[in-house]
A and B are shown apart, each in its own frame.
Chain A
Amino acid sequence: QKEVEQDPGPLSVPEGAIVSLNCTYSNSAFQYFMWYRQYSRKGPELLMYTYSSGNKEDGRFTAQVDKSSKYISLFIRDSQPSDSATYLCASQGAQKLVFGQGTRLTINP
Chain B
Amino acid sequence: DGGITQSPKYLFRKEGQNVTLSCEQNLNHDAMYWYRQDPGQGLRLIYYSQIVNDFQKGDIAEGYSVSREKKESFPLTVTSAQKNPTAFYLCASSPGRGRSSEQYFGPGTRLTVT
The complex places the Cα of A47 from the Cα of B55 at a distance, in Å, of 27
The B-contacting residues of A in range 35-64, CB under 8 angstroms, are: 36, 41-46, 49
Q: A8-B40, A41-B110, A102-B42 are in contact. Are A32 and B101 (CB under 8 A)?
A: yes
Instruction: Return chain B residues, CB-CB under 8 Å to A100.
Output: 42
Q: Closest CB of chain A to B52's CB: distance in Å? A: 17
Q: How far is the CA of A88 from the CA of B103 in the complex (A)?
A: 13
Q: Which of A70-109 contact B (CB under 8 A)?
A: 88, 90, 92, 95-97, 99-102
Q: Give CA–CA (A37, B40) in the complex, Å.
A: 15
Q: Are B105 and A43 in contact (CB under 8 A)?
A: yes
Q: How many residues of B contact A (CB 8 A)?
A: 25
CA A39 to CA B62, docked complex, whole Å: 29
Please measure, in the bound complex, the distance between the C-alpha atom of A6 and the C-alpha atom of B40, giving whole angstroms.
11
Number of A-B contacts (CB under 8 A): 55
Whether B90 and A43, one on each chain, are in contact in the complex, defined by CB atoms closer than 8 angstroms, is yes
Contact A44 B105 (CB under 8 A): yes
In this complex, how many residues of chain A approach chain B with their Cβ under 8 Å: the count is: 22
- Measured CB to CB, the closest approach of chain A to B107, in angstroms, equals 5
Q: What is the bound-complex CA distance between A41 and B110, given in angstroms?
A: 9
Cβ of B10 to closest chain A Cβ, rounded Å: 10
Measured between beta carbons, the chain B residues less than 8 angstroms from A34 are 101-103
B48 at the interface (CB under 8 A from A): yes
Tell me which residues across on chain A come within 8 A of B58, comparing CB atoms: 96
Q: How far is the CA of A92 from the CA of B100 in the complex (A)?
A: 8
Complex: chain B residue closest to A34, CB-CB: B101
Collect the chain B residues with CB atoms within 8 Å of residue A36's CB: 105
Q: Which residues of A contact B (CB under 8 A)?
A: 6, 8, 32, 34, 36, 41-46, 49, 88, 90, 92, 95-97, 99-102
Could you list 9 further interchain pairs (A-B, Cβ under 8 angstroms) beyond the known A6-B42, A96-B58?
A: A42-B107, A43-B106, A43-B107, A45-B105, A46-B105, A92-B100, A96-B33, A97-B103, A99-B42
